[in-house]
A and B are shown apart, each in its own frame.
Chain A
C-alpha cells in the first residue's frame, strides 16, 4: 500500500513570495490533515478535511494561508505572501475517517525555508 505522498520535499523562497505544497493521501482515506512543525515543537494542526469539506481550520492563518481538497482526494496548501516565521516542515497526514480510533499516517513532509 502506497503511503502519503508530498511534494516538493524542500523549498527555499524569499519573504513575500508565494509557495504551494501538494499532498496525495493513502487511497481510501477520507480525512486529510495539514500540520506545521517548527523545529523543536510538536506538529500544529493547520486544517483538517473530511472528504472535500473543512472540519477544522481554526489555527490556519487565513490572511496568508489557504488550502483546498476539491475532489476529496489530493490537497494543496498555499502560502501567499510568505513570512520568515513560516519556515517550518509542513506535514500532511491522512486517516480512514474521523473516528477516535483511526490512526494518522504521515507523509515525508516539505521543509520550507523563507529567507
Chain B
C-alpha cells in the first residue's frame, strides 16, 4: 500500500495570499504524483500532475516534488474564494493507489 499523509486542516488563508498544501508519502518508488481538488459534494478533479523532482507551474498553481525527502507540495498563489475546497494528493502507480485524507482549504474574502 502506498501510504500518503496530509494535514486535514482546515487551512485558512486570506484572499490574495499564497496557500501551501503538503503531502508526504511512504513509497520511495513512486514516480509520479497527482493533486486533485474536490469541492463539497462533488467528485475529485485533477488540477496538477508532477513526475520529476523540482517545480512545475501551471497558472496560479505550482507543484513541488522532492523524492529524496518523499515530499510533494502544492502552492496556490493569489488565492481566491473559489479555491476553497479539499485538496487530495495521490501517487500514480500500477496498483494499490492510496489517496491522502485531503487538506481542506478555506480562502477568506
A interface list, Cβ under 8 A from B: 33, 35, 40-45, 48, 55-56, 58, 89, 91, 98-109
Contacts and interface: CB of A to CB of B under 8 A. Distances in A.
B15 to A, nearest CB: 25
A105 B43 CA distance: 9
A91 B45 CA distance: 12
A101 B102 contact: no
B98 interface: yes
Contacts of A101: 31-32, 49, 51, 92
B71 interface: no
A98 B32 CA distance: 12
Main secondary structure of the interface of B (DSSP, over half): loop
A42 B32 contact: no
Contact of A107 (B32, B43, B98): B43
Nearest to B48: A103
B54 to A, nearest CB: 16
Contacts of B95: 48, 55-56, 98
CB-based closest 10 A-B pairs: A42-B99, A100-B92, A106-B43, A100-B31, A56-B95, A100-B32, A42-B101, A43-B99, A103-B46, A109-B43
